[in-house]
Structure 1
Amino acid sequence: MSDNQFKRGELYSFITGVASTAIARRLQKNFKQHGIDITIEQWSVLYHLWKQDGLSQQELCNATFKDKPSITRLVDNLEKLKLVKRVASVEDRRINMIYLSGAAATLRDQTMEMANQTLNEALGGVSTEEIEMCKSVLQRVYDNLK
């Protein structure tokens, strides 16, 4: 790709997440309007636990691309909200496994529906081919830097 296809500032802004930030802000607003008192960061932890319950804090770090102190803080706050619980690993008591509570399970359907609606709104007028091309390019950028 030659340097003149994009203005550098525009390209960096796009790659660093302007679109992602806009979607996250809209989803946060939708949560608030529906009385759901969790942050997008907390929701991202819950999302990964809904995919696979009982992840270690390190696995959550890897899945969410967050550092250990951030995950510790997020899990602390999710525990206060009674959405998750920490359980010491049977194999290694230094490792905490994070499990969903019953309250988190009931939150899943409602928040996933809002996430889908928000994403549909964000992708209005974008064709399937454009989405696939975007995914391919961003995957290549990620792979190049991995």
Structure 2
Amino acid sequence: MNLEQFNPEMLFAIVSGKLSAAINRQLYRSFRKSGVDITPEQWTVLYYLWSKDGVTQQELCNVTFKDKPSMTRLIDNLEKQSLVVRSPGVSDRRINIIHLTETGKNLENEAKPIVQDIMKKALDGLDEKDVEVGFVLLTRVFNNLKTALDD
């Protein structure tokens, strides 16, 4: 099957970010409804820190695909909410290391089930193979674009 045979509106919806926007909208609403005071963007930073605490701002930029000014604002807001703290790097004080606070660590138990519920709804009707194939394809598309940006 070639690309001309795809529904162009659906293809545009996926590649233009409408899918991501819909998921983010649902995350935002569900967080608010549950009393979890974070945004979807903050979730992406916290999610990474829950798996690997004590990383540089640059590493967070790389894994979330955000620019430095956006990441600085995100971390500023997470600090205001007492979810993370910055500390200077040991070998280079110009580098900020981001650590979760106890409040930030404890938030994982509240936030993860909300996200899992949303993803379960989003993937309704898909079997494990569908999800696996979709993940592989979207990862490949993302990596193609990331490589093109690096050129």
Deviations 1:59-79 (A, max 9, x none): 000011000000000000111
Separation in 1, partners of 2:25, 2:75: 21
2:5 aligned counterpart, secondary structure: coil
Aligned match of 1:119: 119
Aligned match of 1:20: 20
TM-score (norm 2): 0.90
Unmatched segments (≥5 aa) in structure 1: none
Aligned match of 2:53: 53
Cα deviation, residue 9, structure 1 = 4.2
Deviations 1:29-54 (A, max 9, x none): 11100111111111111111111001
Cα deviation, residue 20, structure 1 = 2.2
Separation in 1, partners of 2:129, 2:92: 47
Separation in 2, partners of 1:65, 1:95: 18
Separation in 2, partners of 1:30, 1:71: 23
RMSD: 1.3
Separation in 2, partners of 1:39, 1:106: 16
Separation in 2, partners of 1:49, 1:136: 24
Aligned match of 1:90: 90
Check conservation: 2:83, 2:102, Cα contact below 8 A: yes
Unmatched segments (≥5 aa) in structure 2: none
Aligned match of 1:36: 36
Aligned match of 1:2: 2
Separation in 2, partners of 1:67, 1:95: 16
Moved more, 3-12 or 55-64: 3-12
Separation in 1, partners of 2:85, 2:17: 31
